[in-house]
Structure formats: C-alpha cells, structure tokens
C-alpha cells in the first residue's frame, strides 16, 4: 500500500507544521509545492526515512537552509 501526502497547488499559507514529522511510515510522496508557505523547512521532516518517491517543496516562500536531517532520506528518488 502506498500513502501520499499531497497538498500541492492549494494556496496554503503559513509555516510547515513540525507535527508532520510524525508521519514516519509514509512511503511514497510528500508534496507541498506551489503554495505560499513561509518560514523554514522543519528538521522533523527528516523522519520520513521510508519516503522513496517524491519530496517536493518548490514554488513556496521558504527561507533558511535545508536541514541536514533531510540527508537521511536515502531512499528518496526526486
């Protein structure tokens, strides 16, 4: 079974909630691209160790550096 978290192109605003890091069993897609999200990328998103297809955050208003924890997503393809 694959699970996708896709809220791309939905005119979302605000910051990315750190609570999303609780979805540690997610295995397919995480997409928040093409919104108006601001702030930094939460390091908690590095807990998606089973994420293997997409992790998209492009076309937002995010600031700061990419958390080093995202380097733990070694199965990630795009």
**Domain extent listing, the chain:** 4-72
3.90.25.10, 3.80.10.10, 1.10.10.10, 3.20.20.150: CATH of 4-72: 3.80.10.10
Burial of 20 (0-12, 13-18, 19+ CB in 10 A): middle
Can you read off the two tokens belonging to residue 22? 């609780």
Q: Pairing state of beta strands 13-14 and 36-39?
A: parallel
pTM greater than 0.85 (yes/no): yes
Give the model confidence (pLDDT) of 11-28 as tens digits: 999 999 999 988 878 779
pLDDT at 27: 79
Q: Convert the pLDDT of each residue in 54-78 to its tens digit.
A: 999 999 999 999 999 999 999 898 8
């Amino acid at each position: 079974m694959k699970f996708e978290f896709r809220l791309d192109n939905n005119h979302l605003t605000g910051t990315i909630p750190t609570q999303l890091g609780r979805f540690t069993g997610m295995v397919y897609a995480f997409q928040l691209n093409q919104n108006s999200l601001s702030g930094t990328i939460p390091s908690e998103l590095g807990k998606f160790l089973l994420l293997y297809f997409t992790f998209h955050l492009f076309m937002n208003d995010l600031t700061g550096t990419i958390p080093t924890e995202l380097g733990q997503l070694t199965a990630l393809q795009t």
